[in-house]
Structure 1
Amino acid sequence: MASTCYFLSFPSLSKPLPPSLLPLKFFTARPCKTQSTNSSSSATTAGVQDDPKTNSLPMSIDNLHRFFDLNVGKWHGSFHQFDANGKLMQKVSTRLSVSSYGDDELISLIQTLYIKQRPTSTSISEYDEEPEWAEYKIKETNMFTVDKYQQIGFFPNERAFALRYQTAGMLETVLRQGVLGEDDTGEETPRNLKLPSRLPSIVCENCLYSQEKDRRARAFHIMDPKGILEMLLIFLEDRGDRVLSHPSLENNIDSVNRILPFLGQWKGHSITKRSGVYGSTIAEADTVALLEMDDKGQLIQVITSTSDQHDVKTNVHWTGNAADNLVTFDGGYQITLLPGGMYMGCPSDIAKSVAVSKSFHLEFCWLESPGKRQRLVRTYDVEGLAVSSTYFSETKLIAQRKTSCDFL
């Protein structure tokens, strides 16, 4: 293992960017506030209203413990970097060691990331007993950071969470130091690696856990200073002490076929919670989503959501076009299709939403097995604050064959 140990120093995300670069504000270190969505691109949380009486809920130690238990362990996996069009640019092996210490309000989570290093120019592979792993300490998570800075949307029963991590520093270290390796010293940009902006406007993590094994996928949206999608990152990890092989996203699926598993009608249930590991459930709804392609190759998406509490039905109708791995809808929303039954969605230009005082959302979908998928949607207000998260569990409906009786 590499002897060098790095302690990540996270740049402040509370400093606003120069107006000439970005009309968005950086996240501020203050309690989250919520507001109702007012754009079609945020239809997944339509009908959700803010209740000021629940803005200051007492902290739930039980939820914090459950969040820590969900993360604790030794995770073996791989890190994947994609461009905005879904092209795989970089893949490296990773390990993550997560442990907790302390009790009650003083409990903290500590994470150490290990990145497999590329061979140096002086190494002779046949004589290397084992690969080198660089070690990076990630800032602790505790009662203070989880509420003030990370803005977690946590679903303990569904085993899913979304958060605004202190990730800008990790991007700097993982991509610029961990992935580059010694052979790339002096190079501005190594092959197949795109470096993120030093001041990304948004870094959002959505994490979904497998329903079949002790595996999880952590997906990162990286938005550049102008509010445009810069890159997508995926950590695919298995938990266990002895993992013989690292899980990885295969890139051997033809681009045209990536969208096929998502076509059809999906029926499920959604749960929306306000930001904060202690956040209450705002709404639940039954959902039906249809994605189909017409004879001209145009995509049509129809989403119907019926609230359990208020019996409010919301209908959203989008049309769009697919080019390679990118699906662009007329409303200014885009979906990047990834290997492994995944896609990630975001506005084509967040600045345009902010300019007209509209909220926006970022989405991660994982179709782990045919006919079953999970989605996690993170909704932001016009100031860039994460105000709510919505978890979807959906099953694909099998189309029934038409018989002669159907035409009578």
Structure 2
Amino acid sequence: MLKNQGTWVGSFTQLAPSGAVLQDTPSEVALLPLNQGNTMRQTIRKLPPGQPISETVLEYSSLGRGVLFCQTGAFSQGSIQRSPVGEFGAELGLIHGAERLRIAQIFPKQPTLGSLTLIREHLDGVEPAARPDLSTAQLIGTWLGEAETVYPDLQPPQTVATRLEIQQVGSDITQSLSFGNSANIQSRGQQAGSALRFDQGRQPVTVLLLPNGASASFPTEIQSGQGLFLEAGWLITPTLRQRLIRTYNAQGTWTSLTLVTEQKQ
């Protein structure tokens, strides 16, 4: 958590499940350690144009059961158990230097995504890098990297090599993904506007291509009794990408958080 301390300036962008921008609200989020670092105070200020400033102050002396951090400072907080009759979702936060990118995905008592928030931030006084909206063309190619997985039951973290190959043939997008020595995971999808839809398999997945090189991946419609994942991606440079993946098992229980850092070959 300490790697996230400071005052982060940016905006909260509300998006439709299609990826369309609904509203963009300037923001300031201050994370300050107190009591020799044993307590963290978070002050969230939203500054909507022409409206009163809203301010929320939170203090943490311990992390909730639904929160995990990776060594880089990347983190996720959210549901530890999915229930078909309750709200389900998570926030996934990536950090690179003096910039952060966070994505919140919420399923409000329904199997399809209800709301999506993209939060782009940089430390106060730092000029953020300019990045275009993510496109399929930027993702085509072979990506090699490393995945760090941490677990809510506090078992030791695991690190494995990763390989991701993305190809486009006509309107079809194909992916081949491997973690360590595991078998390749193959998927085929099609692009529809700013969305990639992978409809094969037991849990079809939608990937939204978003502003600032961001992407959000989630089940197109949650199928009970099947494992699922929520993912935030960030193309930091044309050849450097981070992805943060929050995984749930077939019973809907949160099992792990994986940070993938990959380089385009």
TM-score (norm 1): 0.59
Q: Displacement of 1:379 after TM fit?
A: 0.5
Aligned residue type for 1:298: D
Q: Displacement of 1:313 after TM fit?
A: 2.6
Report what 2:212 is aligned to. 340
Aligned length: 258
Query: Quick one: distance in 2 between partners of 1:141 and 1:300?
Result: 43
Report what 1:206 is aligned to. 92
Report what 2:190 is aligned to. 321
Look up the SS of the partner of 1:229 in the other structure: coil
Flag the 1:291–1:205 CA change in 2: closer, same or farther, 3 A. same
Structure 2 residue aligned with 1:370, among 238, 242, 247? Answer: 238
1:269 matched to 2:138? The reply is no
Q: Displacement of 1:249 after TM fit?
A: 8.3
Aligned residue type for 2:9: H
Contact 1:77–1:248 (Cα < 8 Å) also in 2: no
What is the 5 A alignment of 1:325-404? 325-329=194-198, 330-331=200-201, 332-350=204-222, 352=223, 354=224, 357-397=225-265
Flag the 1:160–1:238 CA change in 2: closer, same or farther, 3 A. same
Q: Using CA pairs below 8 Å that are at least 6 residues apart, which structure has the higher relative contact order?
A: 1
Q: Displacement of 1:203 after TM fit?
A: 2.7
Report what 1:108 is aligned to. 39
Q: Displacement of 1:264 after TM fit?
A: 1.0
Report what 1:92 is aligned to. 25
Flag the 1:83–1:98 CA change in 2: closer, same or farther, 3 A. same
Name whichever structure is richer in strand by fraction: 2
Deviations 1:111-149 (A, max 9, x none): 1111113326xxxxxxxxxxx5321223x3222xx143x
Query: Quick one: distance in 2 between partners of 1:70 and 1:200?
Result: 32
Report what 1:238 is aligned to. 122
Deviations 1:210-259 (A, max 9, x none): 2xx4110111111121121112111111113x46x7x6988x75xxx721
Query: Quick one: distance in 2 between partners of 1:388 and 1:222?
Result: 18
Compute the RMSD of aligned alpha carbons. Answer: 2.5
Query: Quick one: distance in 1 between partners of 2:149 and 2:29?
Result: 29
Identity %: 23
Query: Quick one: distance in 1 between partners of 2:67 and 2:155?
Result: 9
Contact 2:226–2:251 (Cα < 8 Å) also in 1: no
Contact 2:163–2:179 (Cα < 8 Å) also in 1: yes
Flag the 1:82–1:279 CA change in 2: closer, same or farther, 3 A. farther
Q: Displacement of 1:102 after TM fit?
A: 2.5
Q: Displacement of 1:98 after TM fit?
A: 1.6
Report what 2:162 is aligned to. 287
Query: Quick one: distance in 2 between partners of 1:259 and 1:116?
Result: 33
Report what 1:36 is aligned to. none
What is the 5 A alignment of 1:9-408? 67=1, 69-103=2-36, 107-119=38-50, 133-138=53-58, 140-143=59-62, 146-148=63-65, 151-156=66-71, 158-164=72-78, 201-210=87-96, 213-240=97-124, 242=125, 253=133, 258-275=135-152, 280-281=156-157, 283-295=158-170, 297-306=171-180, 312-329=181-198, 330-331=200-201, 332-350=204-222, 352=223, 354=224, 357-397=225-265
Aligned residue type for 2:75: F
Structure 1 unaligned runs (5+)?
A: 1-66, 121-131, 166-198, 307-311, 398-408
Q: Displacement of 1:163 after TM fit?
A: 1.5
Q: Displacement of 1:263 after TM fit?
A: 1.1
TM-score (norm 2): 0.88
Structure 2 unaligned runs (5+)?
A: 80-84
Query: Quick one: distance in 1 between partners of 2:12 and 2:155?
Result: 30
Flag the 1:200–1:88 CA change in 2: closer, same or farther, 3 A. farther
Query: Quick one: distance in 1 between partners of 2:50 and 2:13?
Result: 19
Name whichever structure is richer in helix by fraction: 1
Q: Displacement of 1:70 after TM fit?
A: 1.5
Deviations 1:47-67 (A, max 9, x none): xxxxxxxxxxxxxxxxxxxx2
Look up the SS of the partner of 2:137 in the other structure: helix
Look up the SS of the partner of 1:394 in the other structure: strand
